[in-house]
Amino acid sequence: MATVKITALDTEHPSRLAQTRIRIQIPRQYQQDPIISQLATRYHLEINILAAILGANGKESGWFDLHLVGTEKNIQDALVYLGDLNINIISDLETDGW
């Protein structure tokens, strides 16, 4: 699993909210599974989908550029969940997009 930089939003209370931006590749076999929804509900994360690329007719993997906000522990746990599913995580993103 890639090393992901997580930034505290409240520097006086770093155990509170943190954020990170990742890009994930969801393989075709998970197309019918609510992977992103699970991140929000299981790990209590606020998720903003910044961009997405989906293959035509569901024949290819889907790529999602995500901004995650939650506690550092919840973000780390969510990243482990994605890793357990063998979902490719890219963390070194350029700010100007794809």
CATH number at residue 19: 3.30.70.260
What is the domain extent for residue 41? 7-90
Does residue 72 contact residue 32 with C-beta atoms inside 8 Å?
A: no
Residues in the chain: 98
What backbone phi and psi angles, to 5 degrees, belong to 78? Answer: -65, -40
* Token couple for 85: 């599913």
Asked whether residue 82 is assigned to any structural domain, the reply reads yes
pLDDT of residue 63: 93
Stated pTM of the model:
0.80
Asked whether residue 67 is assigned to any structural domain, the reply reads yes
What's the number of domains the chain is made of? Answer: 1
* Whole-Å CA distances, 93 to 26, 79, 98: 17, 16, 9
Asked whether residue 96 is assigned to any structural domain, the reply reads no
Return d(Cα 42, Cα 52) in angstroms, integer: 22
Asked whether residue 85 is assigned to any structural domain, the reply reads yes
User: 9-61 pLDDT, tens per residue?
Assistant: 665 665 678 999 999 999 888 888 999 999 999 999 999 999 999 876 667 78
User: What value does the mean pLDDT take over residues 71-81?
Assistant: 94
Asked whether residue 2 is assigned to any structural domain, the reply reads no
Asked whether residue 97 is assigned to any structural domain, the reply reads no
